[in-house]
Chain A
């Protein structure tokens, strides 16, 4: 089954404790992206990647890191999480040559930073 898999689904942590949210897709998509969703603000892009070893900042990259060492994986790293990073996070992927630009989303990760 074609899918984008995010883990964990729920995560509660404390300020300053490094964490990684994993994202993996099995569709051989070149493009992958991370978003955060907060009430009243919609989806805001954190980072995106056009291909292996190619990453770029989105609208809200501060406090986040990403890496794209393999085509299928695009982990999101919070080196020192803070309470303002409490949010719902989505990973998404799509083929670069797709005209309809359809993003395939993971199920989301609800992060709470205490």
Chain B
């Protein structure tokens, strides 16, 4: 069973702080990883994707990938109450045609 695991939280941070969300994966051949944000009662929306080792920054979001450690993370700088949501980590398994495996999600609350 190829797995993607997330620390389930919930995670609470004060407004303006850095929120750190973590994810590990079991399939060493996985190539691409994604972070989706899901507000309560809504469908997931893609906020970041990464396929190369290192960091990728987009505004207040930074995705980090370490293939040797099989570790993916998402950092949210200057967290805002509007960032309060569930964050889903997902990876595409090796040898599969775009079969995306999701983690169970981390619920983030940003406190005003």
Contacts and interface: CB of A to CB of B under 8 A. Distances in A.
Chain A complexes with chain B: yes
Interface of A: 31, 33, 35, 40-45, 48, 50, 56, 58-59, 90, 94, 96, 100-103, 105-108
B93 to A, nearest CB: 10
Contacts, number: 56
Interface string B25-41: 00000001010100000
Given A48-B97, A103-B46, A105-B44, 7 more contacts: A42-B105, A44-B102, A48-B99, A59-B101, A90-B43, A100-B49, A101-B92
Contacts of A108: 42-43
Interface residues of B, number: 23
B100 A103 contact: yes
Contacts of B92: 101
Contacts of B102: 35, 42-45
Nearest to A58: B99
Contacts of B99: 45, 48, 56, 58
B45 to A, nearest CB: 7
B98 to A, nearest CB: 6
A106 B97 contact: no
Given A48-B99, A50-B98, A96-B98, A101 B34 contact: yes
B45 A105 contact: yes
B104 interface: yes
Closest 9 CB pairs of A and B: A105-B43, A42-B104, A43-B102, A42-B102, A102-B46, A100-B49, A42-B105, A42-B103, A105-B44
Contacts of A96: 98
A79 to B, nearest CB: 23
8 contacts: A35-B102, A40-B8, A41-B104, A43-B88, A48-B99, A102-B46, A105-B44, A107-B43
B97 A56 contact: yes
B107 to A, nearest CB: 11
Contact of A31 (B98, B103, B105): B98
B43 A101 contact: no
